Amino acid sequence: MFERRLRHTRRYQEIVNAFIRYGFGYFLFRVGITDRDLSRGKVPSDADVNLQSIGRRLRLTLQELGPSFIKLGQIASTRHDVLPREIITELEQLQDHVSVFSFDHVQNTIESELEDSLDNVFDHVDPEPIATASIGQVHTARLFTGEEVVVKVQRPGLKPVMETDLEILEKIGQMLEERTVWAKRYRVQDIIHELSISLRNELDYLMEGRSGERIAKQFQQQMFVRVPTIYWDYTTKKVLTMEKVNGIKVSDVDTLDAEGYDRHLIAKRLADAMFAQILDKGFFHADPHAGNVYILPKNTITFLDFGEVGRISDEMTYHFASIIVHLHNGNAEALIKIFSKMDLIGEKTDINAFQRDLEALHDSYANVMLKDMSLGKIIIEIFQVAYYHYIDIPSEMAILSKTILTLEGVISRMDPDFSIMRAAEPYARKVLKRRYSPRRILRNSMSEIAENLEIITGLPRDVKEVMSTLQRGRVGLDINVKQAERFLHRFDKISNRLSFSIIMLAFSILMAGLIIGSAITDQSTVIWELPIIEIGAVIATLMFILMVITIIRSGRM
């Protein structure tokens, strides 16, 4: 315990010293992290308070503090909805400036993880790395069966340092949100929580391998997308062994042209592959930059490095697809409805002002050709407008916008005339059609019925508890108009369905009784010379149609 506390104290002091060294001492004093003496002489000059200078100094600070803080900056750079453009631009330049670690460490890690000597595991391992990053180092190797592979080995002593950093960052985030309005507004704790999840995932190469295999299964029926094979017998949490890819980097357009590749086809296949992951499967490669995409013969796309992946729920996929379609149609009112359905509109939001700003944004693109529109940029601008109007954007959406922006950068170099907007729309419309397919509606209806029955079953108990509370005089009045409206909407919805179900059930019982009675007595069902069962069937059908139309038109179905 004492050793852990000492380690935290030392690292905390390193973090504070780094921020002071790059001119953030006054800021640390203002938020209560340091005292006045440490911030003395550190009040920023006019030249230092411009956003570009702040962004540059912040980037250098994070870079010096190492992997955890570099990753924090990279995650923050995806939050175009909350951070100024100048700071985002600087944070996007964050790179891992790390030294190569010795081959002895590589050998020790491999032998420790695979529980055998290096000579017994691999036929050959190249001592010189082909890539080095803050998390790990990559070497080429050959198995005894002859396959050429690459081996990613985790940097030694990394996990304890990162765990210490994350614990310190969580405490700092909590303190900042308690003491400053801007930290609460920017949801600093959420960003740090996202960082913790991302870093812990990247430290587990087994998880990275499983992510790669999951995406590979998405394309197992398609020949134009490939993912390197994972060799699980040679893979652990700290060692990842996969098939070696001998392709051309997607950004090397000169070589692709010299080799006779079709750049337009490559751009189309890359866009299709990404939107299939995002809008069809809900699990996608979240960092498709040029270093992670290679091109193989026959214009085949190969994805590498699955340490950073994104997940998007069915509900969020539907909302994102709706945003794309309504963007294409220029329907600002429909966009507002989407934010409302996502339950993101707060009490401070002025809906009319929000709609005016969205319409103004759409007008700014009125004369821009579709091929010149940046889907990622437009989505980011919408999120910025939304955030200005006190609408908090989910982290899923922020990661999506960053992924699409990265994808556009790669594709624009490959084929400047290719339109991401046009490529995304068919997938978005497919999501909307799937949303209203009969099978999905039936499945959702069954879930709703089960949910409503659970509510109804517990209603007597809830009423009894409310009455007991009233009798004891322990009632507090707390009215939230927005929540009350949502509750009444929900209650109206349930009552309509119950009314419909009860009427139909009663009529069905009546008709069933007539049918059974006529069958037992072997008598005709004609009463007063009228075919009662036939007429009843027609009435039941009309009642069904009438009730459905009425409830749908009321918007309460």
CA-to-CA distance for 151 and 110, rounded, in angstroms?
Answer: 9
CA-to-CA distance for 208 and 218, rounded, in angstroms?
Answer: 16
Alpha helices in 22-149 (DSSP H): 25-30, 36-39, 51-65, 67-76, 85-91, 103-114, 118-121
CA-to-CA distance for 259 and 91, rounded, in angstroms?
Answer: 36
Which pair of structure tokens corresponds to residue 173? 């985030």
Strands 300-303 and 225-226, bridge-based pairing: parallel
CA-to-CA distance for 53 and 23, rounded, in angstroms?
Answer: 10
C-alpha dist (Å) from residue 456 to 363, 491, 495, 498: 49, 11, 10, 10
Alpha carbon of residue 151 to chain centroid: 29
CA-to-CA distance for 126 and 138, rounded, in angstroms?
Answer: 10
Name the nearest CA neighbour of 227 among 237, 240, 236, 218.
Answer: 218
Query: Phi, psi (5° rounding) for residue 167?
Result: -65, -40
Which pair of structure tokens corresponds to residue 555? 């918007």
Query: Phi, psi (5° rounding) for residue 225?
Result: -130, 130
Name the nearest CA neighbour of 425 among 318, 541, 328, 299.
Answer: 328
Annotated catalytic residues are: 287
- Helix (H, G, I), strand (E, B), or coil: what is residue 104? helix
Name the nearest CA neighbour of 485 among 333, 349, 347.
Answer: 347
Cβ proximity of 209 and 230 under 8 Å: yes
